[in-house]
Amino acid sequence: MAFVNEDNITELALRRWGTAHSPRLAQLMTALVRHIHEFAREVELTDDEWLAAIEWLTATGQLSDEKRQEFILASDVIGLSMLVVQLNNRFSPTATPATVLGPFHIDGSPPVPFGHDMSDGLPGKPLFITGKVTDTGGKPMPSAVLDVWQADSDGYYESQIAEIDEARLRAKYQTREDGTYCIRTVAPLGYSIPMDGPVGDLIKKTDISHFRPAHVHFLIDEPGHHKLITHLFQDGVEYLDTDVVFGTKDALVVEFVERPAGPTPDGGQLDQPYLHATYDFVLEPTTD
Ligand code: BEZ
Ligand code: FE
């Protein structure tokens, strides 16, 4: 066994971690060792900086539980979450692009009919989102389920409000025979990511904007197609260019058109002005 010095330590660690029983684990661990040793060498990491990093990671873990995932937030703000999304969702250019899931999705949202108001009377400007779900060949997809969730018109999800313990502003809409859907809600506001933890502490030492632009989340998981996790962003709002989690994409920015009081896209009537966004979701078929 060779004794350790600055020059051979990386090679020794690579040999050790190369013994992982699964070839994939060996690949992951040796690449991690290579890159992290290279990082320490490049910045000449000091003892104090190494300890500060360990303390930051410890605090990040200690704040994480089933309600709050500070580690995922850390991954989001350094662009790692979005990079993993890109690597795993290489759809054709005509398919709707994917973006980050985020921490606020909940399983089991209620199925609701075409045009149902998922805001359930919450304050805010009424918003209709209508369009179709098709495959990349333009074939409409009947009975496709759009799992939808969003922040409220002040930029909060229910889990961020102490007095609220019921799910809200989330629902599952099903497309009709011709692939069309109609969502009614209130326009969400952009919001800050949680800034009261180690991720916030780090961001406060930079000029990074800690906001996300106003958006509505969608998850569409249909057999024979890649699961689509995405958002629609409101065109013209703040933070589109600086989304703290790198989630914005051109193809997902849509106009929320101002409409006067009167007929609505679900065939009803509203006695106040409202917003209307149209978007056709295009799913990428799986090859296997
Ligand atoms: C969200 O859009 O819900 C979200 C995504 C990443 C971090 C925080 C929030
Ligand atoms: Fe969100």
Q: What secondary structure, in 3-state letters, does 14-74 show?
A: HHHHCCCCCHHHHHHHHHHHHHHHHHHHHHCCCHHHHHHHHHHHHHHHHHCCCCCCHHHHH
Distance 157 CA to ligand 2 centre (A): 8
Residues 6+ apart with CB under 8 A from 215: 150, 188, 190, 231, 232, 233, 234, 247
Q: Measured from the CB, is residue 155 less than 6 Å from ligand 1?
A: no
Q: From the CA of 73, give the closest atom in ligand 1.
A: 7
| Domains recognised in the chain with CATH numbers | 9-65 (no CATH), 75-283 (2.60.130.10)
pLDDT, one tens digit for every residue, the chain (288 residues): 679 999 999 999 999 999 999 999 999 999 999 999 999 999 999 999 999 999 999 999 999 987 789 999 999 999 999 999 999 999 999 999 999 999 899 999 999 999 999 999 999 999 999 999 999 999 999 999 999 999 999 999 988 888 888 889 999 999 999 999 999 999 999 999 999 999 999 999 999 999 999 999 999 999 999 999 999 999 999 999 999 999 999 999 999 999 999 999 999 999 999 999 999 999 999 986
Q: Round to whole Å and give the CA distance between 206 and 154.
A: 25
Q: Round to whole Å and give the CA distance between 243 and 205.
A: 18
Q: Measured from the CB, is residue 102 less than 6 Å from ligand 1?
A: yes
Q: From the CA of 101, give the closest atom in ligand 1.
A: 5
* Ligand 1 atom 7, closest CA: 102
Q: Measured from the CB, is residue 193 less than 6 Å from ligand 1?
A: yes
Q: Round to whole Å and give the CA distance between 24 and 229.
A: 26
* Burial (CB count <10 Å: 0-12, 13-18, 19+), residue 213: buried
The angle formed by the CA atoms of residues 144, 149 and 155, to the nearest 5 degrees, is: 155
Q: Round to whole Å and give the CA distance between 273 and 112.
A: 24
| DSSP three-state, residue 9 | helix
Q: Which amino acid is at 266?
A: D
Ligand lying nearest the CA atom of residue 68? 1
Of residues 247, 214, 232, the one with CA closest to residue 277: 232
Q: Measured from the CB, is residue 211 less than 6 Å from ligand 1?
A: no
Q: Which two tokens stand for residue 30?
A: 């040796």
* Ligand 1 atom 2, closest CA: 102
Q: Measured from the CB, is residue 186 less than 6 Å from ligand 1?
A: no
Q: Measured from the CB, is residue 95 less than 6 Å from ligand 1?
A: no
Q: What φ, ψ does residue 9 adopt, rounded to 5°?
A: -60, -35
**Which residue of 77, 81, 100, 215 sits with most ligand 1 atoms within 8 Å of its CB, as the best mutation to test the pocket?**
100
Residues 6+ apart with CB under 8 A from 231: 99, 215, 216, 217, 218, 247, 252
The angle formed by the CA atoms of residues 18, 20 and 25, to the nearest 5 degrees, is: 95
Counting every residue written for the chain, the total comes to: 288
Element (H, E) at 180: strand 180-186
Please list the helix, strand and coil fractions of the chain in percent, rounded to the nearest 5, in that order. 25, 25, 50
**Which residue of 64, 76, 196 sits with most ligand 1 atoms within 8 Å of its CB, as the best mutation to test the pocket?**
76
**Which residue of 191, 232, 245 sits with most ligand 1 atoms within 8 Å of its CB, as the best mutation to test the pocket?**
245
Given this model, what pLDDT does residue 68 score?
85
**Which residue of 193, 208, 231, 246 sits with most ligand 1 atoms within 8 Å of its CB, as the best mutation to test the pocket?**
193
Given this model, what pLDDT does residue 1 score?
61
Distance 150 CA to ligand 1 centre (A): 10
